[in-house]
Chain A
C-alpha cells in the first residue's frame, strides 16, 4: 500500500466515521435515557436521507445553496414527526413493561418504515449529489478529495459532539436529562417529568439519525436496505463504545471507520466483517464496552 492510498484510506475513514458517529450517538443517547434499543434507528437514518434528497432535488433549481438548509430541515422533520410518533404512540404505553416488548415495538416500527420507504421512494437508487458538488475539492497531502466529505462532515460531527456535551453538562435541560439517566426514580421524586424528558431525548436522538442520513445522501446512492445496514453498524459502534457513552462513540466510530477504510483497500471482502468482529471481540472482554465503566455509567 503506497502513501497516497493510505491517505485516501484515512480520509475515507474520517468521513465515514463522521456519519456513523452521528447515527450511533443518537442511538446511544436514547438508550442511555430510555434504556431502549431503538431498532427503527436505521430507518430514521434512511428516511432522513430520502427526505433530504427529495427536498434538495426540489430546491436545487431555485438555488443550489438552498440544498443545505434543505438537508437540515429534512432531518428535523423526520426527527420530530417520526421520532415523536415512535416515542409518544408506540413506546410510551410500554414503559415499565417487559424490555423485550419495547425492543420489539421498535422492530415493528422498523418493518413499517422499511415498507413505507419502498412505497414512497420506490426501489430504484436515488442520487442527489448537489450539496457535494457545490463545495470545491481540497488537496490533502497530495490527495484530491471533496471538502464536503473531509471538512464539512467531520466538522458537523465534532460540532455535534461538543454541542451535546455542552447541552448535557451546561444547560438546565441537559442537566434534567442527565438526572433522569442517573436515577429515574429519584429524579421523578424531585418533580422532573420523566415522560417529557423521554420525548425530548428521543426526538434529539432520532434527529441525529436523520441528520446522519441527510448528510450521507449526497455521497451515496439511496437504496432499500440502507436503514437495515445502518442500524446494526451504529449499534455495533454504540455497543463497542459502551451504550450511553458519547465521547466513546466518537472514538469508536473513528476507530471502526479507519479500520474499515484500510480493510477496503487491503482486503475488500472483509469490509463488512470489521465492525462486527471488533464488536464481538470487545464485548467478550468488556461487555460494557470500551468506555463503559463496569458499573455502567451512562452518558
Chain B
C-alpha cells in the first residue's frame, strides 16, 4: 500500500468526525434552543483545550493554563467596566492580544523547565493571578467577578434570543479555524519539532535548534487559544470570576484533553463535548452530584481507555511514555 493510501486511511475517520461535529453544532441548536449555549460553551472550551493538547505534544502538562483563560475573560470584563461599549470582535482581538503578551512573558520563564517543574511553575503563576483577581476587590469585585454586558457585533445589537445564536456561530467559526490552524501547525516542521521535544531534546539541540524556543512558540500559541476561549466563555456566560483562573479550572482543561485523547487536535472538542454534556444533563437531573459523575467518568477513561475517546484512531502515533 502506498504512503498516500496509508495517510488517507489514518486521517479520514477523524477528519470526518470533526466535520460532522462542527456541522452538528451548527444545526442541532436550531431545533433545541437550550443547546445554543451548550454548544457555544463546548466550542469555546474546546479552543482552550486545543492549547493543552498542543503542549501535550511536547510532553508538557500545564497545570495553570486557566490563567490565560482568565486573562481573556477579564480583558473583556475590564473593557466593559472601564471603557464600555463592547463588541464581540473587539473583545476577541483584545483577549487574543493580552493572552499572547502574557503567554510570552510567562512562557519565557516556564519553557526553561520540564515535566513536574513545568507544571508547578505554571500552577504558581496562575495562582498568583487568581489571588490578585480575588483580592484586588476595588478593581475586580473580588470573588463576585465582573459582569460582562452583552456586546454587539460589528455595530449590530441583538436580543438575548438572537444573541445566543450569534455567539454560537462566532464560536463555531473560531473553533473550526483554530482546529484547522492547530492541525496545520502540528504537521508543519515547527509542529514536528514541538513533538520532538517529547522524545529527544538532546537531538533537537544537536540539530541546531533551541528546544526552549520551539516550546515557547507552542506555549504562546497555546496561551493565545486559552485567551480566545476565555473571552468567548465570558461573553457566553456574561461574567468573569476569579474561578476562571483557579487551579481546578486548569485541572478541568487537562481533564478534558485526556478525556478526548491528547494525541489529536479533535480530542479537544470530543472531550469538551462529553464533559459539557455530562455536566449539562447531570446538573439538570442530579444537581448535587455532577462533579462526582465526571470524576467517575475520568477514572474509567484513565483506567480503561487511557488514549481517550478518539485514542483508538491515533493520527499522531504517539504512544505516551511507557503507555505502550
Contact = CB atoms under 8 A, between A and B. Distances in A.
Interface in B217-269: 246-248, 251, 254-255, 258, 262
A100 B61 contact: yes
A97 B117 contact: no
Interface centre among A90, A100, A236 (most CB of B within 10 A): A100
A125 interface: no
Given A115-B295, A273-B131, A283-B124, A104 B302 contact: yes
Given A101-B306, A287-B117, A232 B295 contact: no
Interface in A272-291: 272-273, 276-277, 279-280, 283-284, 287-288
A111 B131 contact: no
Contacts of A231: 247
A93 B301 CA distance: 13
B56 to A, nearest CB: 8
Chain B contact residues: helix, strand, loop or mixed: helix
Given A99-B321, A287-B113, A269 B248 contact: no
B258 A228 contact: no
Interface in A82-126: 90, 93-94, 96-101, 103-105, 107-112, 114-116, 118-119
Nearest to B121: A283
A280 B132 CA distance: 14
A90 B288 contact: no
A167 to B, nearest CB: 25
Contact of B121 (A39, A105, A112, A280): A280
Interface in B123-150: 123-125, 127-128, 130-132, 134-137
A115 B115 contact: no
Contacts of A104: 251, 254-255, 258, 298, 302
B125 A107 contact: no
B321 A239 contact: no
A228 B299 CA distance: 19
Interface of B: 56, 61, 63, 109, 112-113, 115-117, 119-121, 123-125, 127-128, 130-132, 134-137, 246-248, 251, 254-255, 258, 262, 288-292, 294-296, 298-299, 302-303, 306, 320-323
Contacts of B136: 269
Contacts of B262: 100
A131 to B, nearest CB: 30
B135 A90 contact: no
Contact of A269 (B124, B130, B135): B135
B116 A119 contact: no
Given A99-B116, A119-B288, A276-B128, A107 B123 contact: no
A109 B295 contact: yes
Contacts of A236: 124, 127
Contacts of A235: 120, 123
Interface of A: 37, 39, 90, 93-94, 96-101, 103-105, 107-112, 114-116, 118-119, 228, 231-232, 235-236, 239, 243, 269-273, 276-277, 279-280, 283-284, 287-288
B109 A284 contact: yes
A97 B135 contact: no
- The 6 A-B pairs with the shortest beta carbon distances in the complex, nearest first, are A111-B295, A112-B295, A115-B292, A108-B298, A276-B127, A273-B131
30 contacts: A90-B303, A97-B323, A98-B321, A100-B56, A100-B254, A103-B61, A103-B63, A104-B251, A104-B254, A108-B255, A108-B295, A108-B296, A111-B291, A115-B295, A116-B292, A119-B288, A119-B289, A228-B246, A231-B247, A236-B127, A239-B120, A269-B135, A269-B136, A270-B135, A272-B135, A273-B128, A273-B132, A276-B128, A279-B124, A280-B121
A90 B299 CA distance: 8
Contacts of B120: 235, 239, 279, 283
A112 B288 CA distance: 11
Contacts of A283: 117, 120-121, 124
A156 B163 CA distance: 58
Contact of B292 (A101, A112, A243, A279): A112
Given A98-B323, A108-B302, A118-B288, A287 B121 contact: yes
